Structure 1
């Protein structure tokens, strides 16, 4: 994540969110992070995997939107095509950021290097009196809810790891011209371990509310077929003939 600047009325009263900024951003995201609470809904549209967050080492939940970097098969002609839209797209281009030596643990920030905010056109963040507009208030509320959601996601990944429920896999994308793109760093649920869990551990997962997202993640893998179909419907894109999941040769939790 880029370095964030705190959003304030004093310095950014005239800021507006550029038209369709979140769609332009989404169009270049081949994976989109989800919170654990979003897995069940996300599984209706995307294949969902667990990945290691390179910034803090925690596990992250990711929805795959394309087999190729900086492409998103769910954005067509500037329109989001999925019935489900992850929360971090709905709050873009604003983020939670920690406050140094402040009374609050978090505040709202933005990437100053991004062109998603401007002072000319778009959705205003503050009114003429410097108060937050309804749009900013709604985003702020969603971001505040994400504090709890992110903690739940962290605990979800941690529990999966502790119970040995994560399996490292390589995704082999086989194109019709014979080339193969191997996507690494993905993890899914280890069904063998899940099916052999002791009753007390299954009960723990049930009480934590984790069984639903676990099974949703497994079901979401069938969305790889939908992703293949979406890819092959686009003129000019290399056609995919098959997608295979294989247990990573080094089956460790990287």
Structure 2
């Protein structure tokens, strides 16, 4: 159950949010969405892969674990990655649009909504959202930044994947993860960038990808793939701990 309210410093002047990560907040997941606007940070910790939806549209995901519902970066002490994907940083907030009068024109401007039913929302514990005199707290400033990363990333994703498809860069990926002689994981239904085709780009296609920033995004995806070895190390450490 949700109760989304437009965040404002009058009704919500004393609102606080408990930060942290755990299964109760939806963090126990082995694949999570990531956006082009966070590829540079995410590629340092997680393999970035592509999934294809029923509508034929691609999206990017970070691989967090090998079993369903497994996040190898989530421990009793919280999230252990150097970078936490934006979708897991936003807490009980989402970005929306609202008509506002600006210079005599009606424009749709981004606004923040908060889920008042979320268990992290409190009037007594956690980070304050507003300062005593009504300004945004450092925590709310951080949330605003995270929501901009998500919003801008969602806008960029579709033209980015369209450009990748036009350049014939997307290919089905075979990801076989071997933990030992007897334990092998295959991650199904995933796609990645064809490294050879990327290296062979030239002319207008190469120039357009470069100018749009999508060329860098493609290389960041490829740079993320060696993080599979980190997942193997985390998984084997977990197995040793659980045995």
TM-score (norm 1): 0.75
Aligned mates of 1:141, 1:222 — CA distance in 2: 28
Partner of 1:242: none
Q: CA deviation at 1:60?
A: 2.4
Partner of 2:76: 77
Is 1:105 the counterpart of 2:103 in the alignment?
Answer: no
Partner of 1:65: 64
In structure 2, the CA distance between the partners of 1:176 and 1:68, relative to structure 1 (3 Å rule), is: same
User: Is this contact kept in 1: 2:36–2:153, CA < 8 A?
Assistant: yes
User: Is this contact kept in 2: 1:99–1:105, CA < 8 A?
Assistant: yes
Aligned mates of 2:41, 2:191 — CA distance in 1: 19
In structure 2, the CA distance between the partners of 1:98 and 1:228, relative to structure 1 (3 Å rule), is: same
Q: CA deviation at 1:118?
A: 1.9
Aligned mates of 1:92, 1:22 — CA distance in 2: 12
Partner of 1:155: 159
Q: CA deviation at 1:187?
A: 1.3
- After superposition, residues 205-244 of structure 1 pair within 5 angstroms as 205-235=209-239
User: Is this contact kept in 1: 2:46–2:227, CA < 8 A?
Assistant: yes
* Comparing 8-17 and 19-28, the one that deviates more: 19-28
**CA-atom RMSD in angstroms:** 3.4
Aligned mates of 1:143, 1:223 — CA distance in 2: 26
User: Is this contact kept in 2: 1:51–1:59, CA < 8 A?
Assistant: yes
User: Is this contact kept in 2: 1:48–1:62, CA < 8 A?
Assistant: yes
In structure 2, the CA distance between the partners of 1:3 and 1:190, relative to structure 1 (3 Å rule), is: farther
Aligned length: 237
Q: CA deviation at 1:113?
A: 4.4
Residue ranges of structure 1 left out of the alignment (5+ in a row): 240-254
Aligned mates of 1:238, 1:21 — CA distance in 2: 21
Residue ranges of structure 2 left out of the alignment (5+ in a row): 101-105
Aligned mates of 1:157, 1:39 — CA distance in 2: 14
Q: CA deviation at 1:189?
A: 0.5
Aligned mates of 1:183, 1:114 — CA distance in 2: 32
* Comparing 19-28 and 40-49, the one that deviates more: 19-28
